């Protein structure tokens, strides 16, 4: 909790981010209904939030699958970090870390996500023209 509060304070003051926190899997998904975050950060070692389950569910959900996702872990948990990266995490931070590194990792993840093509995956021209979007996975006429 102390790390969470320190990170929140730093990101709000220095990074000019609005930080919303959740302490459980259910609370995190409930908050996603009200907020669409620029980035998500999850501690692998959280006793109440299954980071892997949360990440896997996000990556399978059309609306949330492109949100940058960063993992935090104790410095020796390389198997956990590798598992998270294999599930689709965009990066990781080893604890302890400097607040400046947290801000830098967030900025990189957000910048990389912004460079992804998100609007049009396939465009069909002609009489029955349509677009298939990558974010909603539906055809738009």
- Number of domains observed in the structure of the chain: 1
What's the confidence (pLDDT) of residue 114? 86
| pLDDT tens by residue, the chain, 141 residues | 588 888 899 999 987 899 998 888 889 889 999 989 999 999 888 776 788 889 999 999 988 999 999 999 887 778 888 999 999 999 999 888 898 999 999 999 999 988 876 554 555 555 565 555 555 555 445
The enclosing H or E element of 7 equals helix 2-13
Q: Record the tokens describing residue 56, joined without a space.
A: 């896997």
CATH number, domain of 100, equals 3.40.50.2300
Q: CA-to-CA distance for 54 and 77, rounded, in angstroms?
A: 18
Domain of residue 37 covers 2-140
What's the confidence (pLDDT) of residue 67? 93
What's the confidence (pLDDT) of residue 132? 54
What's the confidence (pLDDT) of residue 9? 92
Judged by DSSP in three states, 42 sits in strand
Q: CA-to-CA distance for 92 and 140, rounded, in angstroms?
A: 36
pLDDT per position as a tens digit, 44-80: 887 767 888 899 999 999 889 999 999 998 877 788 8
């Amino acid at each position: 909790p102390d790390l969470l509060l320190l990170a929140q304070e730093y990101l709000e003051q220095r990074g000019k981010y609005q930080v919303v926190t959740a302490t459980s899997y259910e609370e995190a998904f409930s908050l996603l209904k009200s907020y669409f975050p620029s980035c998500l950060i999850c501690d692998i070692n959280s006793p109440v939030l299954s980071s892997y389950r949360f990440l896997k569910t996000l990556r399978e959900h059309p609306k949330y699958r492109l949100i940058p996702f960063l993992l935090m872990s104790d410095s020796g948990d390389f198997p956990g970090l590798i598992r998270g990266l294999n599930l689709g995490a965009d990066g990781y931070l080893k604890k302890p870390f400097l607040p400046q590194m947290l801000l830098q990792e967030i900025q990189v993840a957000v910048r990389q996500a912004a460079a992804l093509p998100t609007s049009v995956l396939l465009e069909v021209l002609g009489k029955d023209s349509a677009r298939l979007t990558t974010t909603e996975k539906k055809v738009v006429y």
